[in-house]
Structure 1
Amino acid sequence: MAELILGQVLAFAGDPFAEGPGAARHERRGAVLVEGGKIAAVGSADALRAAHPGATVTDMGDALLSAGFVDAHAHYPQTAIIASWGKRLIDWLNSYTFPEEMRFSDSSYAETAAETYFDLTISNGTTTTVSYCTIHPESVDAYFGAARKRGLRALGGKTCMDRDTAPEGLRDTAQSAYDQSRALLERWHGVDRLSYVITPRFSPTSTPEQLSALGALWAEHPECLMQTHLSEQIDEIAWVKSLYPQARDYLDTYEAHGLLGAGGLYGHAIHLEPREIDRLAEVGASLIHCPTSNTFIGSGLFDMGGLTRRGLKVGLATDTGGGSSFSMLRTMAAAYEVGQLRGRPLHPSELWWLATQGSARALGLEGKIGNLAKGMEADLVATDLASTPAIAQRAARAGDLWEALFPTIMMGDDRAVSAVWAGGRRAK
């Protein structure tokens, strides 16, 4: 049975970073026709109601209908330690992250954490996530199993660490990282809406041998993405230089081992050298901006203006639990604030695009998710633009869509998420 969802409709016909706000398409009284898990039509409510009289109608009133949010970098095993006080990256990992991740050898613990994680992301309107799991295969099975049950598009992989900079209980080997990653890839990649991502945590916790093994796996499976961290903090970069003294720069520790390419997702990428920017742009890699994490852990300010001018693909992400919110609304707000500090404030059209189509493009999935258009997967979020008294009174004074939407970007939370559809099924 087809479902016709009514509301304001926001879609994109282009990239607002290149074309400005005019790249967006707004239908004040619009509709989205969903059938068989896909979007069958997008247009005016009157026209689609007339053309599809037998469809079930769901009227969301003045709510804004858009593609569901795409969180391009997260750590679901850190759900329970989000908002832990007062540490920078290396201390934060040792104090909070690594002790928590050790618990994921217990499959029941991992399954409970995955269920909690997806409950939280769906409640915030996120319909696609890209997560690091832990070194334990059980953590990957739990993540994909919970996503599959909900009909979500989810990407993720076993986090690999074999260097003694990681605690003994969280180390694998170059061979076991390769073998287990390959087995998980063969088990999950392409099942329903799931995709495996080859996942070395970052150079400081992997030996050159392990990076080479994962580079070889990626070469054997170029259909998969690869995710890692890059140039998040200044002291991290110094750490990398001490561990890889022959490397030209941080990126070279990946490039030398087959871990630089168009399907690479490089989280943070704040303190990049000119050569690194050149190479990332040359190969068509994607950078993932994690603004709440970058401010919470004191990492620095991502250069959105400079990097997008170079043509680099940029996705947006919560980076939970280093990031301080499961909400992509809060993440957009933080991206705006970071942009202000860099002298490049982002327009609401750019922020919404980053959280949907921009992140989808960074993942190579722009033809499947991240927009409202015929043939796309039916992942939708309905956003209430008057979800709290403070937001409502500001939005009431708006002169156009962007002025009405911006208060929700800056002050909204899960209360603004009225409904969520994942693969055409109501999820919230």
Structure 2
Amino acid sequence: MHDDTILTGTVLSFTGSPFDDAPDRAAQLHEAVLIRAGRIHALGPLDTLTAQAPEAAITRHEGCLISPGFIDAHAHYPQTAIIASWGKRLIDWLNGYTFPEEMRFGDPAYAALIAERYLDLTLANGTTTTASYCTSHPQSAESFFAAAQARGLRAAAGKTCMDRNAPAALCDTARSAYDDSAALIARWHGVDRLHYVITPRFAPTSTPEQLDALGALWAENPTCLMQTHLSEQTEEIEWVRRLFPQSRDYLDVYETHGLLGERGLYGHAIHLTERETARLSETGAALIHCPTSNTFIGSGLFDMGRRVAEGQRIGLATDTGGGSSFSMLRTMAAAYEIGQLTGTALHPAQLIWLATAGSARALHMQDHIGTIAPGMEADLVVLDLASTPAIAQRHVRAEDIWQALFPTIMMGDDRAVKQVYVAGRALS
């Protein structure tokens, strides 16, 4: 006796990248999807699926798009309570807002409270997987993983490591960063649907000794991801040049210390040299585009057209709280706007691919999540494509699914999220 569920609506499944092929060839639309034991079992016409599973419960989402759950490839859950803080650029943002807030995470109860709040907010916006930075307190990672595990989420996170250029209360050491991270890997990596991410905040807050220690840890744990920041703002790049005068460029700092690799996630990556882009493409590392953050704190414009042409692996992310929204719909809208400013009008299929299959590929989770196909985990978001009067009056004129979806991408928020499924389980 199977615990089967059939969902009906317009089911979106990607068979390829809409950056590599026409959207109508990269994507397939189905009438229904059959979920069995938390995974996608089959897609197709409703009568075909009911014949396969005659006792399945049927949930109808007519007029809605059933998409893979959104995947946020770069976030800072400890910044939840300071999102939308006014008037700072990166370095002042860290000193004025981020570091004072992160000091509060020495209290395990506060860390647990914010982890629960963050995941509730992101799930309400249709995000089913996040790769998050924690604070330098090991407990902050424990709290995130415990909250994600309780919700059955596929999630990734790591204790942030920094041993200089930060308040003493937030600094660890090269030794403790290695030891704490190794202990968290042993406790959480590969447990249920959880992934540990080795996390040096960025080059300016780590000594060469700490970067070496974390590079060694990554070499010892090659199935882990590694996340950091790269070339977010011009002042930051100048700071890195002063701190590491022997390095050819910002990326070379990471490479010298064993922190460049295929499973590396490099947040922002806006102001890159030709040498850096060539090395990133060669290694297959992921660039994580954080459009609302890049505009909110004045970092610059990520050139999506150019990066795609270079063959870069690209994910999409909110970067909360430097990013100004928990919503991946708002993030897609910002990516479209920045694309327009850099000469690339991103197609709706490309935008939703970046927020699902593209981010899954960036996180090396494409065998588990990111598209709706047999064998994949049933993390899904159901989007009401007429969720507000403004969207509905635009939607009614749509001539195809992409025209129907685009107004929700540009104007949608959590009101568009009709239902979220995590491993096949509907959230209330």
Contact 1:288 1:314 in 2 (8 A): yes
- 1:113-152 matches, cutoff 5 A: 113-152=114-153
| Matches of 1:378 and 1:278, distance apart in 2 | 36
**Aligned: 1:105 with 2:71:** no
- What one-letter code is carried by the residue in structure 2 that aligns with 1:267? G
Cα drift, residue 242 of structure 1: 0.7
- Aligned-residue offset at 1:22: 2.2
Q: Is the 8 A contact 1:15 1:23 kept in 2?
A: no
Q: Does 1:16 align with 2:30?
A: no
Distance in 2 (CA, whole Å) between partners of 1:249 and 1:25 is 39
> Which region of structure 1 is more displaced relative to structure 2, 15-24 or 218-227?
15-24
Match of 2:85 in 1: 84
Match of 2:294 in 1: 294
Aligned partners of 1:70 and 1:356 also within 8 Å:
yes
Contact kept? 1:379, 1:421, Cα under 8 Å: yes
Contact 1:8 1:26 in 2 (8 A): no
Asked if residue 394 in structure 1 is aligned to residue 394 in structure 2, the reply is: yes
Give the Å deviation of 1:51. Answer: 2.4
Give the Å deviation of 1:26: 4.0
What CA distance in whole angstroms lies between the structure 2 residues aligned with 1:299 and 1:24? 32
**Where does residue 36 of structure 1 map in the other structure?**
37
1:93-134 CA distances to partner (integer Å, 9 max, x unpaired)?
A: 000000000000110000000000010000000000000000
Q: Return the alpha-carbon distance in structure 2 between the equivalents of residues 47 and 335 of structure 1.
A: 38
Task: Map Cα deviations across residues 177-203 of structure 1 (whole Å, 9 max, x no partner).
Answer: 000000001000001000000000000
Provide the secondary structure at the position in 1 that maps to 2:146. helix
* 1:191 alignment counterpart: 191
Distance 2:36 2:51 in 1: 16
Q: CA deviation at 1:20?
A: 2.1
Q: Answer whether contact 2:18 2:27 (CA < 8 A) is retained.
A: no
Residue in structure 1 matched with residue 171 of structure 2 by the alignment? 171
SS in 1 for 2:19: helix
Counterpart in the other structure of 2:306 = 306
- The residue type paired with residue 304 of structure 2 is M
What's the CA shift for 1:43?
A: 1.3
Q: What does residue range 179-258 of structure 1 map to in structure 2 within 5 Å?
A: 179-258=179-258
Instruction: Output the amino acid matched with 1:239.
Output: W
Aligned to 1:3: 5
SS in structure 1 at match of 2:113:
helix
TM-score (norm: length of structure 2): 0.99
Cα drift, residue 23 of structure 1: 3.4
Matched AA of 1:291: P
Q: Is the 8 A contact 1:137 1:180 kept in 2?
A: yes
Query: Identity over aligned residues, as a percent?
Result: 68
SS at match of 1:87: coil
* Partner amino acid, structure 2, of 1:249: D
Whole-angstrom CA distance in 2 between matches of 1:386 and 1:220: 50
* Paired amino acid for 2:109: S
Secondary structure of residue in 2 paired with 1:255: helix
Q: Tell me by how many angstroms 1:330 deviates.
A: 0.2
1:49: how far off? 2.0
Gaps of 5+ in 2: none
| Kept after mapping to 1: 8 A contact 2:16/2:27 | no
2:15, 2:28 within 8 Å by CA — same for their partners in 1? no
Choose which of 23, 26, 29 in structure 2 pairs with 1:27.
Answer: 29
Structure 2 distance, partners of 1:427, 1:109, is 25
Tell me, in whole angstroms, the C-alpha distance in 2 between the residues paired with 1:27 and 1:367.
Answer: 20
What SS class does the counterpart of residue 17 from structure 1 fall into? Answer: coil
Q: Which residue of 2 aligns with 1:403?
A: 403
Amino acid at match of 2:122: T
Alignment partner of 2:329: what SS?
helix
Asked if structure 2 preserves the Cα contact closer than 8 Å seen for 1:159 and 1:200, the reply is: yes
Runs of 4+ in 1 over 6 A off after TM superposition: none
User: Aligned partners of 1:425, 1:379: CA distance in 2, in Å?
Assistant: 8
Q: Aligned equivalents of 1:345 and 1:229: distance in 2?
A: 26
Conservation of the 8 A alpha-carbon contact between 1:385 and 1:404: yes
Pairwise CA distance, 1:301 = 0.4
